[in-house]
Structure 1
Amino acid sequence: MRIGILTGGGDCPGLNAAIRAVVKRGSSEHGCSIVGFRNGWEGVIAGDAIPLTRDDVSGILVHGGTMLGTARCHPHKVDGGMEAVKDTFDNEKLDGFICIGGDGTLKAAGKVSQKLGVPVIGIPKTIDNDVVGTDAAIGFDTAVSIATEAIDRLHSTAESHNRVMVVEVMGRHSGWIAVTAGVAGGADIILAPEDPFDIDKIAKKIRHRHRYKDFSIVAVAEGAVPKEGSRWNAEDTLDAKGNPIAGSIGSAVTRAIEEATGFPTRLTVLGYVQRGGVPTAADRLLGTRMGIAAIDGIVSGETGKYTALQGEHVVLEPFETMMGKTKWVPEELFAAANGL
């Protein structure tokens, strides 16, 4: 068999582990030829392909990012994109695609599978951890580890200067990083998109805390939103399409806390550092396991699905399970965060 592989959407640690697993397992166990496409679905549309051998993937396990490059491109949204994907599939004499990506890239993979009848298996990767059907996605553990370390480091500065430290982390639509890193790092207040906030209540909580502690840590997801009707102007934190502007919500919350409490308040925006660098052991392992499951699945003909970690096992879920849906932070985890 001849299998194409691509990575789409934002980069994250652990992608190379999945690519490596597909190539090594595919060539050694199944006798497959693996073809890599540069820059996600853009590369498939353009026919920008390179052969991948065991030698090509040697040593990439510990590297962040993706050796294939990536781009935010969905072929069903590009004029002639779907036709170009089919042409590349035929011209390269492929037997299937393995697509590694977040919710948008996997939705595109689902459409390629459904509309073109092309065998496709997806592998979920996103530091936001918002793909429905899988307990974790590649890149999430590393991002949480980085965010937790940042919160740990800010504790000493906050305490030394008697300040409120606001940390903005990624998470446009769901607050997995903010909540998990916030709990792990001992943040005093956690703001996430699933739980709209009231700035007056936040200020009251900080003032109460400062009766016995002279510092506070606030973890904020970039997509956090105020409660409807609360004293807040959210328009300054959104772009023309209504999407959160990185750094804007953190900056607005920082100003509002300082104005409401009178306490010196400082902002740290982690930004892209959450997506870069060496993957954790957990992400290397998850990428490897999902890569193996993907190539095994495509060889056995179990396609139109994506790999999913469910409990202790990696299984294959139909694309329909995740398409058009978002995995929200559960109320139980919010309750745990708010109860500390």
Structure 2
Amino acid sequence: LGVATRLYGEHKLNVVGVPKTMDNDLSATDYTFGFDTSVTKAMEAAEALMDTGRSHRRVMVLEVMGRHAGWVALFTAVASAADFVCIPEKEIDTAALLAKIKAAYSKKKFALVVTSEASSLPAVGEGEQKRELDQFGHVILKDRGMGERIASFIEKNTGFETRSAVIGHMQRGGAPTLFDRMLGVRVGVKAAELVRDGQFGQMSALVGNKIVGVPLEKATGELKTVSSDWNGLMEVLF
């Protein structure tokens, strides 16, 4: 959509957009299609990890996607009743992380941490002097291994056997959820209406329960990240 915004703004091409991203980081829309499916798959993976964590008395760390925004990690952690969540918007409080894991383990003999691939763990440093970039100038995160770093940190500082898993690109495939199917149809129909009416430079968006057209520059001008409004819920749950 960033390219579409430039094509319309700089070259006056007739462009209409739809909110397609599993990261849910587009402004001007409440949800993007792909996000619900991605979180559902991540939630199922988290619940499977809890089964093995419970049976082997281990701490399990699940790494999910999310380059700039922690929506996937946050929603996965809430839905799967994880014990701690790590998101890129907030540097990991290592003391709080260890305290939560110790408390959870003493009670149920296992624990679950969900982390975004782009989270930051200052205690171990980044260790990336030369970082490879993709064609869009983004740091390639596949070799960063945030889940493994967090798992190693937890095991070293608690003595609890800890394992990590990366769901990776399985989040991007498979059958879409009912919510995503309905949202995809609704924004698709709205996009067709925008084309029919000559309202170019717009993106169809979900606002409340309505599908509306919004300017592309409003949708792409600023990433929608996890805001401080969610801090209260995170403090209660994690």
Q: Please list every run of at least 4 consecutive aligned residues from structure 1 whose deviation after the TM superposition is greater than 4 angstroms.
A: none
How far does residue 194 in structure 1 lie from its aligned partner after superposition? 0.8
Q: Is 1:312 aligned to 2:215, yes or no? A: no
**Partner residue of 2:22?**
127
Distance in 1 (CA, whole Å) between partners of 2:192 and 2:206 is: 16
Q: Is 1:303 aligned to 2:194, yes or no? A: no
CA contact (8 A) 1:129 1:176 kept: yes
Larger RCO: 1 or 2 (CA < 8 Å, sep 6+) = 2
Distance in 1 (CA, whole Å) between partners of 2:31 and 2:93 is: 30
SS in 1 for 2:21: coil
Q: 1:141 to 1:272 in 2, by over 3 A?
A: same
Task: Select the structure of larger CA radius of gyration.
Answer: 1
- Note the alpha carbon deviations across 1:20-40, whole angstroms, 9 max, x for none: xxxxxxxxxxxxxxxxxxxxx
Amino acid at match of 1:239: R
CA contact (8 A) 1:237 1:244 kept: no
Amino acid at match of 1:160: S
- From 137, 141, 146, the counterpart of 1:245: 141
Amino acid at match of 1:278: A
- From 143, 157, 181, the counterpart of 2:52: 157
The root-mean-square deviation of aligned C-alpha atoms, in Å, is 1.7
How far does residue 236 in structure 1 lie from its aligned partner after superposition? 4.2
- From 124, 135, 138, the counterpart of 2:33: 138
Structure 2 residues without counterparts, runs of 5 or longer = none
- Note the alpha carbon deviations across 1:80-129, whole angstroms, 9 max, x for none: xxxxxxxxxxxxxxxxxxxxxxxxxx111111112222221101111100
CA contact (8 A) 2:29 2:219 kept: no
With 238-247 and 291-300 compared, the bigger mean Cα shift is at: 238-247
SS in 1 for 2:206: strand
Give the length in aligned residue pairs.
232
SS in 2 for 1:309: strand
**Partner residue of 1:206?**
101
**Partner residue of 2:184?**
287
Amino acid at match of 2:125: N
Q: 1:210 to 1:263 in 2, by over 3 A?
A: same
Distance in 1 (CA, whole Å) between partners of 2:8 and 2:217 is: 11
Q: 1:210 to 1:238 in 2, by over 3 A?
A: farther
Correspondence 1:220-235 to 2 at 5 A? 220-226=115-121, 230-235=122-127
Amino acid at match of 2:147: G
- Note the alpha carbon deviations across 1:230-270, whole angstroms, 9 max, x for none: 42211349833472622611111111111011000001100
Distance in 2 (CA, whole Å) between partners of 1:191 and 1:331 is: 14
Q: 1:259 to 1:273 in 2, by over 3 A?
A: same
Amino acid at match of 1:288: V
Structure 1 residues without counterparts, runs of 5 or longer = 1-105
**Partner residue of 2:113?**
218
Correspondence 1:185-200 to 2 at 5 A? 185-200=80-95
Correspondence 1:44-83 to 2 at 5 A? none
How far does residue 210 in structure 1 lie from its aligned partner after superposition? 2.3
SS in 2 for 1:206: helix
Distance in 1 (CA, whole Å) between partners of 2:213 and 2:202 is: 6
Distance in 1 (CA, whole Å) between partners of 2:156 and 2:176 is: 39
CA contact (8 A) 2:87 2:119 kept: yes
- From 235, 256, 276, the counterpart of 2:153: 256
Distance in 2 (CA, whole Å) between partners of 1:153 and 1:326 is: 31
